[in-house]
Amino acid sequence: MASGRRTEPRAPISVQSADAPLTATAIFLVLSVSDAAGALDQVRSTLADITGLAKTVAFRGADAAFSCTVGIGATIWAPLMRRPLPAELRPFPGFHGAAHVAPSTPGDLLFHVRADRRDLCFEFERLLLSQLRDSVHVEDETVGFRYFDVRDLLGFVDGTANPIGDDLHEATVVGDEDPMAAGGSYVVVQKYTHQLDAWNALSAEDQEAIMGRSKADNVELDDAPTGQKAHKTLATVIDENGEEHDILRDNMPFGSPASGEVGTYFIAYARNLWVVEQMLTRMFVGDPPGMHDRLLDFSTAVTGSTFFVPPVDVLSDLEHAPDDPPESDDPGTAPVAQPAARPRPSTSDGSLGIAAGRLTLLEGLDR
């Protein structure tokens, strides 16, 4: 080295980065803020120093790609954040098809903690909960693990179609269309349990037709010309301008054979919440309605919550946030705003122009 000085390797620690690397393990922790005295202040001061807490843990395992993203739910946003509600943020509405339901379950805060080492995730969660004390209660804690070559427990490689490069930023990070939320991302989580015996009783060909990819070598299959659509087709959203809208998924298997509960923890980061909601409508209601995603015949959604991941500087400024949030930010009373610049999937005839098919506008979706 020309200067003669040695450059120490830097520890890769990331906070509030939706696109943090894939890791060997993760914790998905959903909390509700309690009604204990001073709970909001306690949460605020913990979130304001989340970078400090991440460094405390991650520096001890600098090669483990530690990351933590914190998401804030719609109901707690105004009292906690004291800033305008991101334009699309609303509680997870729940999705009701003729055969399957995606329930909406409680949660004010999401911590998505990723690392290549389970001990780092454990330690971060331990210190986090000891700081939050009685200001929160745990709604759900799920520990995910990497399964072979990024496979889910149904045996398929999961995450292949995620956007990469510039497309990744474009698909996940809010831009100028919502200046107060710019730099952040919407995040939706759902915990699915699998009926593995029934799934494994299917032939590999039937499983592949349900997913839309080959099982062994992960090659994308052609869309079915008519009739039942594969999961990958139902999860494709195309707006009225013909533009496809991507999301970033970092699903993880969870569970244990001994407990009898195994599944996939679904997590999606998105620039536009409506994209994820429309994927869920297509999966649960079906396209055309009634032809739901057959993946759901073997996977049951047991939780569902929506959050917004603000940029890290918004969190670190939290303790200096003004006391009075703008009145219009209460999601219980204010109508949910539509960002002006976003392309709407509705067409002039009142249907949604989605992918190859059309889906009648559903109550609750046309906000």
Residue 211 touching ligand HEM (CB under 6 A): yes
Residue 154 touching ligand HEM (CB under 6 A): yes
Residue 109 touching ligand HEM (CB under 6 A): no
Least CB distance from residue 138 to ligand HEM, whole Å? Answer: 23
CB nearer to ligand HEM: give 124 or 156.
Answer: 156
Among 48, 161, 221, 302, binds ligand HEM (CB under 6 A): 161
Least CB distance from residue 158 to ligand HEM, whole Å? Answer: 4
Q: Are 68 and 60 in contact (CB under 8 A)?
A: no
The question of whether 297 is a catalytic residue gets the answer: no
**Integer Rg of the chain from CA:** 21
Peptide bond before 288: cis, by omega within 30 degrees of 0?
Answer: yes
CB nearer to ligand HEM: give 75 or 162.
Answer: 162
Candidates 40-48, 58-66, 272-280, 324-332; binding stretch for ligand HEM (CB under 6 A): 272-280
Residue 280 touching ligand HEM (CB under 6 A): yes
Residue 152 touching ligand HEM (CB under 6 A): yes
Catalytic residue among 108, 140, 158, 293: 158
| DSSP per position, 30-67 | EEEE--STTHHHHHHHHHHTHHHHHHHHHGGGTTS--E
Residue 192 touching ligand HEM (CB under 6 A): yes
49: which residues sit within 8 A by CB, 6+ positions away? 316
| DSSP per position, 183-229 | T-EEEEEEEEEE-HHHHHTS-HHHHHHHHTB-TTT-PBPPPPSSSSP
Helix ranges (H only) for 35-175 are 39-48, 50-58, 74-81, 118-132, 166-172
CB nearer to ligand HEM: give 121 or 280.
Answer: 280
Read off the DSSP letter of residue 108.
S
Contacts to ligand HEM by CB under 6 A: 152, 154, 156, 158-161, 190, 192, 211, 213, 231-232, 235-236, 247, 249, 264, 266, 268, 276, 279-280, 283, 295, 299
Catalytic residues: 158
